[in-house]
Amino acid sequence: VFARAPVAVAPAAAEPARRARAVVDGLVARGQVVYGITTGVGDLATVAISPDQAAALQANIARSHAAGVGEPLPAEAVRAIMLLRAHTLALGYSGIRLETLQTLIAMLNAGIVPLIPAQGSVGASGDLAPLAHLALVVMGEGRVLTEGGSRPAADALREVGVQPVILAAKEGVALINGTQMMTAVGALALLRAEVAAKSTDVTGAMTAEALLALPAAFDPDLHRVRPQPGQQTSAENLRRLLAESRLGRPADRVQDAYALRCMPQVHGAARDGIAYARRAVEIEINSATDNPLIFAETGKVVSGGNFHGQPVALALDVLAIATAALATIAERRIERLVNPHLSGLPAFLTREGGLHSGLMLVQYTAAALVSENKVLTHPASVDTIPTSANQEDHVSMGSIAARKAARVVEHVAQVVGIEALCAAQALEFRGWEQAAPAVRAVYQAVRRVIPPLERDRILADDLAQAYALVVEGALVRAAEEVTGPLG
């Protein structure tokens, strides 16, 4: 759940924004030829626009570029887009009027959520179509989301007392040119991936206890000689999660299967990929991605390609690939939990197998999600297709990378929840009271919302509860009450 904190322009940002706007006004007054201000856009950049047409050009850009299709983006994603777009405009390089920026922020604070179709961006020149649907609402056009569907933006703005803007020169371009759709959707997926990565260490520890995994695989000396950062963190987490276990290990077992033994290596590699994505997204959030950019201190206007989404697209492809690995290995642990030939526990973790199928089908569900992720993790950023009469001849597909990453992360959280469900049930047979204190705490967190499986029941309800435990961070919080903050 993301808090709806109020947003305001920092006092320090107001003056740079005014100075950049003064540069734009000067360009228009002089009739100087500058892309997107006194010319058309894309392959129409050679068409000059007179000063008296400058405002009409900006409104027309917003209307013509609002060409999205498909399901609307979720409200939380749209709000994130609005916040990130306001932030990049407030950096003072876009030349937008302060009152236009304040209108965008007023919409956000008033709960106005533009209807932005999910599809239509190729990620250069930025997320044009999605951001154009946002710009329409700033103008009092387009539609906004409601609980039951959508309504005209003009009506919604009137009700909350927000006055629509008549766009001035440069403002249409400033509102639609940038990477905020891919960055916003990617940032939300990234935050959830970080929770999923930590949760996977927790559920992996539960499974390790239920299957009596050997703790030697997490020995600090073993991991010291391969100092991959994520691996170090996951190994340390697992040592703390499994500390003080009273469950006896088989004396004749030399080593465990990879899904248990290699948790630090696989979870850790995923963590490193997620960390790379975080660095790229954090930089992008704080970047100026408009075109052209206004450098008020020198009066320079530069038309370039900061809108190109390749850095974000590549990072979000990595995010999807890295996070998918967490589910892939977790599904193998789920199989070991429900398979009596591998676990030594009752088949499908039910006491009356045959009459009851127990948790047989939740492994099917995990397998289906993992297999779907294998399709979704095909990189979007390796693709490109020319647009705008071949003027924009290399694009990033960043919005597609973002939406795919968000779906992958959702699937991973579902699989991690299934592992928690299965591991808790396995501990019923193994003796959860003898498990490590942190694992006992997590087991009890599961049991507060999901009772033990005594006989067959509708499992979809249990899966929904388990998913919620993961995405809300409840499993991690339960563990950290014992271990302290995990890495």
Q: What is the pLDDT of residues 159-192, one digit of tens each?
A: 999 999 999 999 999 999 999 999 999 999 999 9
- Please give the radius of gyration of the chain, using alpha carbons only, rounded to the nearest integer: 26
Residue 37 in this model has a pLDDT that exceeds 90 = no
Q: Between residues 399 and 34, which one has the greater pLDDT?
A: 399
If one counts every other C-beta atom within 10 angstroms of the C-beta of residue 221, the result is: 6
Residue 424 confidence (pLDDT) above 60 = yes
Side chain identity at residue 253, one-letter code: R
Verify whether residue 276 is a known catalytic residue: no
**Catalytic residue (choose from 35, 93, 443, 467):** 35
The pLDDT, as a whole number, for residue 2 is 65
Neighbours of 80 (CB within 10 A): 23
First to last CA, the chain: 21
Q: Which of 194-208, 377-391, 461-475 bottoms out in mean pLDDT, i.e. has the lowest?
A: 377-391
Average pLDDT over the chain, rounded to an integer: 95
* DSSP summary character for residue 163: P
- Check residue 371 and give its pLDDT: 98
Query: How far, in Å, are 234, 267, 379, 410, 419 from residue 200 at the CA level?
Result: 9, 8, 24, 13, 9
